[in-house]
Structure 1
Amino acid sequence: MKALIIYTHPNHQSLSYAFLQEVIQGAQENTTIEEVKVLDLYEEGFNPTLVFNKQKRRRDMHRDPDFARYREQLMWADKIIFVYPIWWGRPPAMLMGYIDQMFASGFAYKETGKMLPEGLLKGKSVVCISVMKGPTHYPLLWLNNSHKVLMRKALFNYVGIKKVKFFEFGNMESPKGKHKEKLNKIHRYFKTVAQ
């Protein structure tokens, strides 16, 4: 199994970065994971801004040469792992900009004339690891689970990825947030996970 980790946080002193390190360590100890690659969107200087004009048309996004390397990474990966904070009830704009540009028609899905398109990323699996200041059940109780609905149904299921797992960690700015316990949980998961 090949694993691609997409990390989205501007600060390498953050708790999100600590979770990234646990994912990497656990994955490297897992005999079913043969290779791990990390895409750090902020360090990469990824431009999340959509540009459509005479030279860049939306219908051509799936073959934009500026994103060829990122498309190759997604095609290479069996498991795609996203590590990010929850800000205002959703992933950071940087990650959403990546999603807007990478999960394009012609690459991630194709229109069939039916109600739903054909997902072109079938067979892959996804893990989303997110941290937030608010309580763990805040997205469920106050936001109707909008984060999970957005990521699972509006994105991953749409492009053919059916196996999606979430780790949503709340109270992460509290000294009672059980940081070490949660970091260990992630380490153990990636040390033992199969496809």
Structure 2
Amino acid sequence: MKTLIIYTHPNHQSLSYAFLQKVIQGSTENPQIEEIKVLDLYEEGFNPVLVFNEQKRRRDMHADPDLEIYREQILWADQLVFVYPIWWGRPPAMLMGYIDQLFASEFAYREKGGLLPEGLLRGKSVVCISTMKGPTHYPLFWLNNAHKALMKKALFQYVGIRKVKFFEFGNMESPRGGQVEKLEKVRRYFQAVRA
């Protein structure tokens, strides 16, 4: 199994970065995971801004040469792992800009005239690891599970990815937030995960 980790947090002293390290540690301990690549969107200087004009048309985004390396990474991976904080009930704008540009028509999906498109990323799996200051069940009870619906239904299922796992950790700024236990839970998951 080949794993691509997309990390989205501007601070390498953050808890998100600690989760990234646990994903890497668990993955290297797993004999089923043969190769790992990390894409740190902030360190990479990824430009999340969509630009459509006479030179860049939306319908051509699947072939944008500036995004070729990122498309190759997605195609290469069997497992996509997203590590990010929840800000204002959703992933950071940097990650959403990556998604807007990479999960494009004719690359991630193809319209076929019906209600739903043909997902072109079938067979891959996704793990989303997110942290937030608020209570763990805040997104479920206050936001009608908007974060998970956005990521699982509106994005991953739309492009053909059916196997989606969430680690959504709340109370992460509390001294009683169980950070050590949650970090270990993530490490153990990646140590044992199978394709």
Q: What is the TM-score of this pair, normalised by structure 1? A: 1.00
Aligned to 2:15: 15
Where does 1:144-155 land on structure 2 (aligned, <5 Å)?
144-155=144-155
Please state whether the residue corresponding to 2:168 is helix, strand or coil: strand
Q: Which residue of 2 aligns with 1:160?
A: 160
Q: Which runs of 4+ in 1 moved over 4 A?
A: none
Post-superposition offset of 1:49: 0.1
Q: Distance in 2 between matches of 1:139 and 1:194?
A: 28
How far apart, CA to CA, are the structure 1 residues paired with 2:14 and 2:119? Answer: 34
Residue 171 of structure 1 corresponds to: 171
Gaps of 5+ in 2: none
The secondary structure found in structure 2 opposite 1:73 is: helix
Q: How far did residue 166 of structure 1 move?
A: 0.2
* Equivalent in the alignment of 2:130: 130
Distance (whole Å) between structure 1 residues aligned to residue 42 and residue 102 of structure 2: 16
Q: Distance in 1 between matches of 2:85 and 2:137?
A: 15
Q: CA deviation at 1:192?
A: 0.5
Superposed CA deviations along residues 136-189 of structure 1, whole A, max 9, x for unmatched, are 000000000000000000000000000000000000000000110000000000
Q: Provide the aligned length of Structure 1 versus Structure 2.
A: 195
The aligned residue for residue 56 of structure 2 is 56
Once the two structures are superposed, what CA deviation does each residue of 1:113-153 show, in whole Å capped at 9, x if it has no partner?
00000000000000000000000000000000000000000
Cα RMSD (Å): 0.2
Residue 46 of structure 2 aligns to which amino acid in structure 1?
Answer: F
CA distance in structure 2 between the partners assigned to 1:167 and 1:26 by the alignment = 15
1:138 is aligned with what amino acid?
A: Y
Q: How does 1:38-187 map to 2 (within 5 A)?
A: 38-187=38-187
Report the residue type matching 1:31 in the other structure: P
> Once the 2 structures are TM-superposed, how far is the Cα of residue 59 of structure 1 from its aligned partner?
0.1
Uncovered stretches (5+) of structure 1, i.e. residues with no partner: none
Identity %: 78
Q: Distance in 2 between matches of 1:115 and 1:192?
A: 37
Q: TM-score, normalised by structure 2?
A: 1.00
